[in-house]
Amino acid sequence: MTAFSLDPGQTAWCEELYALARDELRPLAEKGEPGRVNRPLVSALGGFGLLDRLLGSGALDLCLLRESLARGCTEAETALALQGLGAGPVRQAGTEAQRARWLPEVRAGRAVAAFALSEPGAGSDAAALALAARPGPGGDGWRLTGEKCWISNAPEADFYTVFARTGEGPGARGVTAFLVPADRPGLTGTALDMLSPHPVGALDFDGVPVTADDVLGEPGRGFRVAMDTLNLFRPSVGAFAVGMARAALDATLKHTARRTAFGGPLKELQAVSLQVAEMATRTEAARLLVYAAAAAHDAGEPGVPGRAAMAKLYATETAQYVVDTAVQLHGARALRRGHLLEHLYREVRAPRIYEGATEVQRTIIAKELYATQETPA
């Protein structure tokens, strides 16, 4: 199916990315260890120029990258997206020195980045973070003390974009963003064993020193850096989900055309064909919603947070439905370890939570809707 926002060149590029993910990147992914950073895969993303494209892309390009890679190799998609999420604040708000030090390394696939926002007590309510940035001895910078949790690429990243409370005010106003290299004294971490095969960990900050040279943007305005990054990435989380839905739909079309039962192929059973039609319709609707939100972001249109939230919400919920239905139509074979759908079933659950859970997206959408209403007299 052709999406309204894609020209022939974009469609061809997406097919090239899908083939690259399927034929070149998937073999590297299969050699990696679940739950660990796959550095050969990250290096390949750099070698193929995808990380360079990532760091220079707008929201729509980012969506096309993530959807196409996810359709062919979810591990490659995730490795690419995490590089963008961790390095995005550096590109957006970093100093010339910070950019010169880290962005070439990220583009080449030599440095692994991480976005450290969530904490044990501050997940969906990101503004409630408690990681403290206390003044250093003699007023020399700050010392970071506290915890971060559910951090992708931790504890194996080479640097972290860290959001800490410097005390300029309550809530979001008191948050500052820092670029923290992984070798800073006092910074340690542990890996977390997750349902999805993503590299996720916890970080412990025991008086980690940072200075004014490590600040991303301005002191006390780091929450805006975080939100700008997430607003760019939210539609592309939907694109990741759409890529998984498309992979599940592709597998289901092949399976139901070949598999025979009750005297004919499964596709001739109305109960099956109607489910496949529903899977395809929801997937295409999610694609269009994602592309529209991304195009609105790139055009600087109003209401982007609400549209991005709609795209993320609908696409991730759709992918969950499509993958679950695909498993049902494949039967027991889809439950075997190593089957594509068994893999997707574990992968698809996480996007409904991270970068803002489904419930948070609904809250954002409602606030945006009411904000557009005229104030009663």
The question of whether 96 is a catalytic residue gets the answer no
Residues in the chain: 377
Tokens 């977390």 label which residue? 192
Q: How far apart are CA 307 and CA 296, in angstroms?
A: 8
Q: How far is CA 373 from CA 75, 301, 302, 368, in A?
A: 42, 17, 14, 9
Q: How far apart are the first and last CA of the chain?
A: 48
- Tell me which DSSP letter residue 366 carries: H
CA 89/CA 356 separation, integer angstroms: 18
Q: Which of 268, 355, 368, 374 is catalytic?
A: 355
d(CA 335, CA 339): 7
Give the separation between CA 194 and CA 294, rounded to whole angstroms: 29
Place of tokens 């945006």: 368
Which residues, at least 6 apart from 6, have a Cβ–Cβ distance to it below 8 Å? 14, 64, 291
Select from 75, 240, 223, 247 the least CA-distant residue to 162: 223
User: Tell me, what amino acid is at 26?
Assistant: R
Strands of the chain, DSSP E: 113-116, 132-135, 142-152, 159-165, 175-181, 187-191, 200-210, 215-216, 260-261, 264-265
Looking at the DSSP assignment, which residues form a beta bridge with residue 116?
162
81-111 in b/e burial notation, b at 16+ Cβ within 10 A? bbbbbbbbbbbbbbbeebbebbbebbbebeb
Task: For the chain, 377 residues long, give each residue's pLDDT as a single digit of tens.
Answer: 444 568 899 999 999 999 999 999 999 999 999 899 999 999 999 999 999 999 988 999 999 999 999 999 999 999 999 999 999 999 999 999 999 999 999 999 999 999 999 998 876 676 778 899 999 887 789 999 999 999 999 999 999 999 999 986 666 778 999 999 999 999 999 999 998 888 999 999 999 999 999 999 999 899 999 988 988 888 899 999 999 999 999 999 999 999 998 889 999 999 999 999 999 999 999 999 999 999 999 999 988 889 999 999 999 999 999 999 999 999 999 999 999 999 999 999 999 998 889 999 999 999 999 988 865 54
